Amino acid sequence: MSDPAFDDEKEKPLDPAAERLQAKLKRLVLFSSLIMVAGLVAVFSAIIYKVNARSDSASAVSGAQMAATISVGPDARVLSTQVDGARLFMLVEEGTARALLQFDATTGKLLGRTDFVPR
């Protein structure tokens, strides 16, 4: 800025060795940029794949495939439920006792029962 004549000055041509070095550096920068772009594409592809794969496996049984009714004891109170694939787990309280019931989520059939007893 203090020397306005500097902008008007013509650039001197580079010697052949400097031109070769400059061309080599340009190729290196281009190659490095391509590698960086390929790496970013790979990372984002992996993230998108993982997100889509997780959402597909998490919804193994949809709401339309679930059993309409599941029978538990008359005095049972459902404390929590968990769906794992085609199985439904329920933690119920019957009076003072607790039990874990395992159902087939599509048919509603009782597959197993685990009673929790105090020691």
Same domain, yes or no: 46 and 20: yes
Contact assessment for residue 99 and residue 114, using Cβ atoms and an 8 Å cutoff = yes
Same domain, yes or no: 52 and 89: no
CA-CA distance, 82 to 90, in Å (whole number)? Answer: 7
Residue in 93, 91, 88, 92 with CA at minimum distance from that of residue 109: 88
70 falls within a domain = no
Q: According to the model, what pLDDT value does residue 11 have?
A: 79
Task: Tell me: pLDDT of 36 over 90.
Answer: yes
90 vs 9: which has the higher pLDDT? 90
To 5 degrees, how large is the angle CA 97–CA 102–CA 108?
Answer: 115
67 falls within a domain = no
Instruction: Tally the domains of the chain.
Output: 2
Q: According to the model, what pLDDT value does residue 48 have?
A: 92
Task: Tell me: pLDDT of 95 over 70.
Answer: yes
Same domain, yes or no: 48 and 80: no
Same domain, yes or no: 81 and 54: no
Domain that holds residue 18: 5-58
CA-CA distance, 7 to 12, in Å (whole number)? Answer: 13
Residue in 32, 113, 31, 33 with CA at minimum distance from that of residue 71: 113
Q: Per-residue pLDDT tens for 41-69?
A: 999 999 999 888 765 554 556 656 777 77
Q: According to the model, what pLDDT value does residue 61 have?
A: 61
63 falls within a domain = no
49 falls within a domain = yes
Q: Per-residue pLDDT tens for 12-35?
A: 888 999 999 999 999 999 999 999
Q: Per-residue pLDDT tens for 97-111?
A: 899 999 988 888 889
